[in-house]
Amino acid sequence: MKNIFRFFLTPLLVIVISACGFVEEKLSCEDILENTYSQSSLNNFEKNKFKDLLSMRYPEFDLMFKEASEETNIEKNLLAAISFQESQWDPRAKSSMGVRGMMMVTLETAALVGVEKRLNPEQNIKGGAKYFAMLYEKNKIGPTQADKLSTTLASYNLGPTNIINIANEISNDIEKVSWNEIKDKLKDIESSELNLTDNGSYTRGQQAIDYVSRVKDYYSLLSAHSCIAPKDQLTFF
């Protein structure tokens, strides 16, 4: 798999046209942070909770995400964003559906990627990272990297078979199917078609759409805290 997720810190350059020609002005880390938080679709409660847990909970696991990133070539901030959306970096997180741990790994996925103890944060993070890398490697949906990344995230949330089936309904050539087309289908799909259960009026299709959007938000915030400018971050959609 191409090392598409690994980024080096490159300063954001603002090009200012002046009478003397082009002047390059570096945007500060503080400016990147302020702009990212102001543009995030998260509400203030969510932003404040993220900042609190980034300070109090995340540092314990930073090295684990770094090692998982090195082993899979998936950018560390993306893995951490997925984990925050899944468990808010709680190693003992579990759901009524039986998924557990930092990356909310199922028993089936744990067996597939060699995770013996799902409540072990290091095993869970590395197992979830390995599974996401496998999904990305096998994913043929989408004409752009952004489409492929978004549909892979949706597959992590909703299951790859469901996303592939939706893409096949749209076109026989799934490489031409965009994330926006998948998203439109997810808005109206019945949970019975996915062999899943809705949470009241909040459908599983809409949950998958929101999942991708929120991972993007958390990824952008993590990148901003790393002083990575928007132009050097991953593009989701």
What does the block give as tokens for 97? Answer: 């559906």
pLDDT digit string, tens, across residues 32-54: 999 999 999 999 999 999 999 99
In the predicted structure, residue 19 carries a pLDDT above the cut 50: no
DSSP code, position 58: G
pLDDT of residue 235: 87
Q: Residue 17's pLDDT band (boundaries 50, 70, 90)? A: very low
pLDDT of residue 189: 80
- CA atoms in the 13 A half-sphere facing the CB of 25: 8
Residue environment code for 111-120, b if the CB has 16+ CB neighbours within 10 A, otherwise e: eebebeebee
DSSP code, position 12: -
Beta strands in the chain (DSSP E): 13-18, 21-26
Query: Where do the structural domains in the chain lie, given as residue ranges?
Result: 13-138+204-229
The rounded distance, in Å, linking the Cα atoms of 109 and 76 is 20
In the predicted structure, residue 90 carries a pLDDT above the cut 80: yes
What residues are annotated to the active site?
86
Residue with tokens 């299709």: 205
In the predicted structure, residue 22 carries a pLDDT above the cut 70: no
191 versus 94: the higher-pLDDT residue is 94
The rounded distance, in Å, linking the Cα atoms of 215 and 220 is 8
The rounded distance, in Å, linking the Cα atoms of 66 and 114 is 19
The Cα-based distances of 158 to 17, 22, 122, 196, 237 in angstroms read 47, 47, 24, 9, 18
Domain 13-138+204-229, what architecture?
Orthogonal Bundle (1.10)
The rounded distance, in Å, linking the Cα atoms of 42 and 226 is 19
Judge contact between 16 and 23, C-beta under 8 A. Answer: yes
Residue 10, helix vs strand vs coil: coil
pLDDT digit string, tens, across residues 194-221: 655 656 667 888 999 999 999 999 999 9
The fraction of the chain above a pLDDT of 90, given in percent, is 76
The rounded distance, in Å, linking the Cα atoms of 147 and 144 is 5
Residue 92, helix vs strand vs coil: coil
